[in-house]
Amino acid sequence: MHATLPFLPYIVGGLAVTILASLVTFACAVAIGLAATLWMTTGHPAAGPIVRAYVAIFRSLPELLCIFLVYYGCEIALQKAAVSFGFRPIPISPFLAVTVAIGVQFGAYSVQIFSDAHRSINPGLFEAAHALGLSPRKVTTRVAIPLILQAAIPGLSNLFSVMLKVSALASVIGLEEVTRRAKIVAGSTREPFAAYAVAVVCFLVIAAAAALLQARLERSFRSTREA
């Protein structure tokens, strides 16, 4: 235990990376989900089958497999490009690979959340917006997106807390967040029990904070709705 204490700030500092990675990935997933949902609502004939296939595929692939596919795939593509265009191969940032892999994967879950949210909205509100003479673009940006986002808050906050946990997988391709740092410390101090216990506590604190935040968010939105 004593050998691990000096490394405490190092492990806990990994929380910043964990949270940053989760936030960027979350933004990525929300953007994909919102775009796909809005595309489906336009009634484009290709939209339905393509989005459904995307959701079915990425819901059934393990996150770890996705991360490896994106990481190795980009590596090979970059190497080939480097050979044919004659530049020095650039190492891929694990942060970028994780953001793309998890963002695209969780985009599939957020499509489901957003399309449920869209279905729960009274269609009369959209008709009213059209009747007011708003252009279709304005109806989307001023009416549809705010209403969908508001209705999606419970689902999205669940998704975010899942994402915080999934971000631990990023340690496998070398992103230095809590898990990776705990592993490094465990290796150098030969006290894996203490090092991983610190990581466990870190994640429990985040989980508690996320639960509190979620409860507060939902309460504030419920009160604005009822008002």
Partner 1 sequence: MSESLFFSTTLWFSILRGLQITILLTVLSMAFGLILGTALALVRVYGSALASSVAATYIFVFRGIPLLILLYFLYYGAPQISFLRTGLLWDVLFSSAFGTCILAFSLNNAAYLAEAVRGGILTVKKGQIEAGFAIGLTTRKVISRITLPIAMRNCLSQIGNETIFTIKASSIASIVTVRDLLGQAQYVGNIYYDNITPLLAAAILYLVLVQIVERLIRWADRALKPAPLAGAKGKRPNQLQVVS
Q: Which residues here bind partner 1, judged by CB under 8 A?
A: 56-57, 59-65, 68-69, 72-73, 76, 164-169, 171-172, 178-179, 182-183, 186, 191-197, 199-200, 203-204, 206-208
Nearest distance, CB of residue 66 and partner 1, angstroms: 9
Closest CA to 140 of 38, 20, 18, 26: 38
Nearest distance, CB of residue 166 and partner 1, angstroms: 7
Nearest distance, CB of residue 40 and partner 1, angstroms: 21
The residue among 111 and 166 lying less far from partner 1, judged by its C-beta, is: 166
Closest CA to 70 of 80, 59, 78: 78
The residue among 140 and 189 lying less far from partner 1, judged by its C-beta, is: 189
Nearest distance, CB of residue 124 and partner 1, angstroms: 26
Residue 51: how many CB atoms within 10 A of its CB?
Answer: 20
b/e per residue 68-84 (b: at least 16 CB within 10 A):
bebbeebeeeeeeeeee
The residue among 176 and 191 lying less far from partner 1, judged by its C-beta, is: 191
The residue among 22 and 115 lying less far from partner 1, judged by its C-beta, is: 22
Residue found under tokens 């044919």: 84
The residue among 47 and 210 lying less far from partner 1, judged by its C-beta, is: 210
Nearest distance, CB of residue 9 and partner 1, angstroms: 19
Distance CA 191, CA 202 (A): 17
Q: Is the four-CA dihedral 130, 133, 137, 138 of positive or negative sign?
A: negative
Distance CA 99, CA 78 (A): 18
